[in-house]
Amino acid sequence: MLKIGLTGGLGCGKTTVANLFAAKGVPVLDADQIARELVEPGQPALAAIVREFGEEFLEAGQLNRVRLREVVFQCPERKRQLESILHPMVFDAMQRQLATLRSDYCILCIPLLFETKQQAFVDRILVIDCPVELQYERVKNRDGLEMAEIGRIIQSQVSRQERLAAATEVIENSGQMEQLVEQVEKLHRMYRTLARH
């Protein structure tokens, strides 16, 4: 099965594009969704995070994500610790889910594909791209974050130039929804053809 790694910067529209592929019946595995499931109460990732970071990151048995995000984005060392716990578990879970799929191709939504150096995990890399100003605007409207915090998150990711240079395909997402739908339709046809040959 052809594995398409879907990635892009913060606020570029990865989820929207993944949903458009899913609407065409394409299986979509989402690394962020898997990570959320892995930190549910009773899951091994939650226990490992609490061991590493402390009980103060638990609230009524649940992981306090906001608190954890604040800490890891202020301290690169803490961020590395969290990633060393979560990332291997996420890719293991993704590998297990992949083994159950039956399809010409699938979409693996991996926001930190380059940061985790997992390019070899996929066959092709689809980058969702938009201008940086638009990233700030979308994330501010969506999450209500301060500009400085958005900037910190964007700075912690690989640069737009690096992503574009490594892409096999690019979806440009700064226009209307119709244009996005058209681009997805075109790629859907192409991926199906590639998978079958």
Q: What is the pLDDT of residues 104-123, one digit of tens each?
A: 999 999 999 998 899 999 99
| Percentage of the chain lying above the pLDDT 70 cut | 100
Specify the pairing of strand 2-8 against strand 124-129. Answer: parallel
- pLDDT for the residue numbered 153: 85
Q: Using an 8 Å Cβ cutoff, are 98 and 138 in contact? A: no
Cα torsion 127, 184, 135, 129: sign? positive
How confident is the model at residue 101, as a pLDDT?
A: 95
Q: What is the b/e burial string over 173-188, where b = at least 16 CB atoms within 10 angstroms of the residue's CB?
A: beeeeeebeebbeebb
pLDDT at 154: 86
**What is the model's pLDDT at position 72?**
86
pLDDT score at 183? 97
| Superfamily of domain covering 1-27+104-197 | P-loop containing nucleotide triphosphate hydrolases (3.40.50.300)
Tokens encoding 52: 């590493």
Nearest to 53 by CA among 33, 77, 36: 77
Average pLDDT over residues 124-148: 92
Secondary structure letter of residue 119 according to DSSP: G
Tell whether the model's pLDDT for residue 186 goes beyond 90.
yes
Residue 19: band (very low, low, confident or very high) from pLDDT cuts 50, 70, 90: very high
Percent of the chain surpassing pLDDT 90 = 73
Question: In the chain, what are the domain boundaries?
Answer: 1-27+104-197, 32-100
Could you report the per-residue pLDDT of 153-174, keeping only the tens digit for each? 888 889 999 999 999 999 999 9
SS3 22: helix
Q: Give the number of residues written for the chain.
A: 197
pLDDT band with cut points at 50, 70 and 90 for residue 125: very high
Integer Cα distance of 114 and 129 in angstroms: 14
Q: What is the pLDDT of residues 37-78, one digit of tens each?
A: 999 999 989 999 999 999 889 988 899 988 888 888 788 889
